[in-house]
Amino acid sequence: MLTSTHYSAYNSFARIINEIWGPEVSESLLPDIEKLLLNHLPQSSQILDLCCGAGHLAQKLVQKGYQVTGLDGSEKLIEYAKNNAPNAQFILNDVRDFQLSSNFHGVVSTDYGLNHIINIEELTKVFKNVYTALLPDGLFMFDLSLDRRYQSDWNNSMLGDIQDEYAWALRRSYNSEEKIGTIDITIFELINQNWQRHDITWLVKGYFQTQIISALKNVGFSQIECYNKEDILAKTEDAIVAYFVCTK
């Protein structure tokens, strides 16, 4: 459970996020981010990348001429991010607690980062922090895996990979009553010619679209649009992952 400002449970997996997940995810998401967010922002505007991970998306935004600040709770991920996007600014902080002035034209959070906030009260705190950080008429775009996704393909599903210097396996399960998913990860890493094992657990929450819209309205967002991540032109009623685009 995320109980402290710095998320040590993500540090052991940071190398894998940096080398594998980050580049793939940022490349695949960029077209949707351009359509739903960037095309509606001024040139050279200020963007906050929330749950920025290893900074791959931040670097793509910098290359497009935006002024980017990334925020994440993992020290290791922030270290990678500073190397991957040297012209961006990065903040090590908890998304539930950060306080930034109203300087940002846009805020973006991708790759299900906000699913790791496992109750609606704390997620509402995140939304309040974002609302405060946005300029008037600023836009907030984020994605969430909905309960429907976890119900359909998460029961004891597994992922993994083997590289020369590390190997990892990930098992996912979902408690349909509590709406809580568990991600158990085992990593073997070659350090000083010795293999070391790390076991970590992440928790995620399966939210409903109506829950999220209500929380966003409660903190003051005036216009909220929802999109099906699999096809942004399709109906959101059938979405298993949704984009939310909100106007301050």
CATH number at residue 176: 2.20.25.110
Indicate whether 194 pLDDT > 60. Answer: yes
Whether 98 is in a domain gets the answer yes
pLDDT digits (tens, 9 = 90+) for 6-65: 455 577 789 999 998 888 889 999 999 999 999 999 999 999 999 999 999 999 999 999
Answer for the pair 62, 32: CB distance below 8 angstroms, yes or no: no
Whether 2 is in a domain gets the answer no
Answer for the pair 59, 49: CB distance below 8 angstroms, yes or no: no
Q: Reading across the β-sheet that carries 180-191, which strands appear in turn?
A: 157-162, 166-175, 180-191, 194-205
* pLDDT value of residue 10: 72
Whether 69 is in a domain gets the answer yes
Whether 3 is in a domain gets the answer no
| pLDDT top residue among 102 and 154 | 102
* pLDDT value of residue 94: 94
- Residue 232, domain extent: 8-146+206-247
* pLDDT value of residue 52: 96
* pLDDT value of residue 234: 80
Shared domain for 64 and 119, answered yes or no, is yes
* pLDDT value of residue 21: 86
Measured over all CA atoms, what is the biggest interatomic distance in the chain, rounded to whole angstroms? 56
Shared domain for 177 and 94, answered yes or no, is no
* pLDDT value of residue 241: 95
Shared domain for 135 and 189, answered yes or no, is no
Q: What is the mean pLDDT of the chain?
A: 92
What is the rounded average pLDDT of the residues 58-84?
97
pLDDT digits (tens, 9 = 90+) for 88-138: 999 999 999 999 999 999 999 999 999 999 999 999 999 999 999 999 999
| pLDDT top residue among 4 and 169 | 169
Shared domain for 76 and 188, answered yes or no, is no
Cα distance between residue 52 and residue 77, in whole Å: 8
Q: Reading across the β-sheet that carries 134-145, which strands appear in turn?
A: 89-92, 67-72, 46-50, 104-109, 134-145, 241-247, 223-228
Shared domain for 84 and 60, answered yes or no, is yes
* pLDDT value of residue 6: 43
Token code pair at residue 150: 């976890």
Shared domain for 18 and 124, answered yes or no, is yes
* pLDDT value of residue 117: 96
Shared domain for 225 and 140, answered yes or no, is yes
* pLDDT value of residue 5: 41
CATH at 56: 3.40.50.150
- Number of structural domains, the chain? 2
Shared domain for 58 and 97, answered yes or no, is yes
Indicate whether 4 pLDDT > 50. Answer: no
pTM for this one? 0.93
* pLDDT value of residue 8: 55
Token code pair at residue 224: 């909220």
Whether 157 is in a domain gets the answer yes
| pLDDT top residue among 1 and 149 | 149
Shared domain for 99 and 20, answered yes or no, is yes
* pLDDT value of residue 209: 95
Q: Is 218 exposed, middle or buried (0-12, 13-18, 19+ CB in 10 A)?
A: exposed
Shared domain for 99 and 179, answered yes or no, is no
* pLDDT value of residue 9: 58
What is the rounded average pLDDT of the residues 180-186?
95
Cα distance between residue 223 and residue 246, in whole Å: 6
